[in-house]
Amino acid sequence: MPISPVHSLSFSHTQYDGTQGPFALVANCGDSRLVTDDGIATSPNTFRAVTRDHRPHDPIERVRLRDCHATVGAASNNKVLRVFPGGLATSRSIGDIGMSTAIVPTPDIYIMPLTEPEMSGEKNGCTSCCRTQRFVLASDGLWDYVNNETVGRLAARDKRSSKDAATRLLKHCLKHGGNRDDVTIMVVDVTTNTTKAISENDV
């Protein structure tokens, strides 16, 4: 399912009349990530990224940082790429004022169509159906140790609730990554409903 970028590096907005169905408006700034299973019942354990991580190794961010006269390199004690001056491991951030003029708080904003349910069933002269789509939103403390495939294995809708999925992901991160700093995880199930009146032409 395509994701449409509304803008990057500006706060201009776009209008969306909803004629193409339900959608989610996603804003991302920093190295947190949103992934989704698209609500496809045949592959509920397959997740894909919705957002792009804002990190110094990203090609788009490297160009932007260079144009802002920032330097990208690893600190002497590890191999993590950082932005200098400041030394942050993220190329965009909300709140790190004064670290570097290249570290901007400007988000990438996406319009993401939600999976539309297929019409089925009949009740009181109407057909209706609903479909649930799972989203996993987490900070870089998770993604440093867990990839999208592992999320699908641990957080699949057909295996566990959203609460249990978040707990399972956290435990896996703490056990295998050893990271106890900056690990925030949200698992949200979004259900879209469609109801259509049955006319005589439909019978």
Q: What is the pLDDT of residues 84-119, one digit of tens each?
A: 998 999 999 998 878 888 999 999 998 888 876 554
Position 191 scores a pLDDT of 85
* Bridge partner residues of 188 (DSSP): 135
Q: How many CB atoms lie within 10 A of CB 157?
A: 19
What digits encode the pLDDT tens for the residues 138-181? 999 899 888 888 998 899 888 899 999 999 999 998 888 766 67
Position 184 scores a pLDDT of 93
What digits encode the pLDDT tens for the residues 2-28? 444 443 444 334 444 455 678 888 999
The full length of the chain comes to: 203
For residue 50, give the CATH number of its domain: 3.60.40.10
Q: Report the b/e string of 24-34 with b at 16+ CB within 10 A.
A: bebebbbbbbb
SS3 content of the chain, % helix, strand, coil (to 5): 20, 30, 50
Tokens 């804002």 sit at which residue? 54
Position 75 scores a pLDDT of 75
Position 112 scores a pLDDT of 83
Pairwise CA distance, residues 141 & 139, whole Å? 5
Position 199 scores a pLDDT of 42
Identify whether the C-beta of residue 111 lies closer than 8 Å to the C-beta of residue 15: no
What digits encode the pLDDT tens for the residues 119-133? 445 444 444 567 788
- Domain span at residue 185? 4-202
* C-alpha atoms less than 13 angstroms from C-alpha of 203 in its C-beta half-sphere: 7
Number of compact structural domains in the chain: 1
What confidence category does residue 203 fall into, taking pLDDT thresholds of 50, 70 and 90?
very low
Position 32 scores a pLDDT of 94
What digits encode the pLDDT tens for the residues 24-83? 889 999 999 999 988 765 666 789 899 999 999 999 999 999 999 999 998 777 788 999
